[in-house]
Amino acid sequence: MGLVSGLLKAGIAKKIVDEARKPQNQAKAKEMLARLRARRGSRPT
């Protein structure tokens, strides 16, 4: 059971890394980070 769980987690991690390497997904990630930073910066403390 542990072996199957480990293989499943490795497969999911590989899929995430592969998707993150795609240029269109990198652009989406940068936009999302910029929005989060802008929102965090506009909050009063």
| CA–CA dist 9, 22 (Å, integer) | 21
Note the pLDDT of residue 40.
87
What would the mean pLDDT of 4-33 be, rounded to a whole number?
95
More confident residue, 9 or 44: 9
**pLDDT range class, residue 45, cuts 50, 70, 90:** low
Q: Which helix (H) or strand (E) holds 40?
A: helix 23-42
Our count of domains for the chain comes to 1
Share of the chain above pLDDT 90, in %: 82
What would the mean pLDDT of 32-37 be, rounded to a whole number?
94
Confidence (pTM): 0.55
What would the mean pLDDT of 6-13 be, rounded to a whole number?
96
Residue-range definition of the domain harbouring residue 7: 2-42
